[in-house]
Amino acid sequence: MKKVSIIIPCFNGERFIDRCLHSIEIQNYPHIEVVVVNDGSIDQSESKILEWKEVLENKKISLIYIKQKKSRDWKRNKYRPEIYFWRVFIIIGHR
């Protein structure tokens, strides 16, 4: 079976990250890799993501955490969508 990589961009997603990562945890596909990119969150997103790292790895799901800091380049490029090559979003719906 092929490995599936799930890429989750996160900016101040403290309220939603638990539900998002739980939905990945309960999947029964055996070859999942999760990449969470924290785009400079100022809430408790980072601590929640790091709590999930061990939980997911116990289920044989690897979690790669990338923390980005916003810089002057970000301010200069934030309105230039042509600099992005791809975007993957997980949409969390209401029950």
Query: How far apart, in whole angstroms, are the C-alpha atoms of residue 41 and residue 79?
Result: 19
CA atoms within 13 A on the CB side of 38: 21
Displacement of CA 30 from its chain's centroid (Å) = 19
Q: Where are the domains of the chain?
A: 4-83
DSSP per-residue codes, 15-59: TTHHHHHHHHHT---S-EEEEEEEES--SSHHHHHHHHHHHHHHT
CATH number of 4-83: 3.90.550.10
The model's pLDDT over 78-87, given as tens digits with 9 standing for 90+, comes to: 544 444 444 4
Q: Is the pTM of this model over 0.75?
A: no
Q: What does the pLDDT look like over 10-54, one tens digit per residue?
A: 889 999 999 999 999 999 988 889 999 988 888 999 999 999 999
Alpha carbons 93 and 76: distance in angstroms, whole number: 32
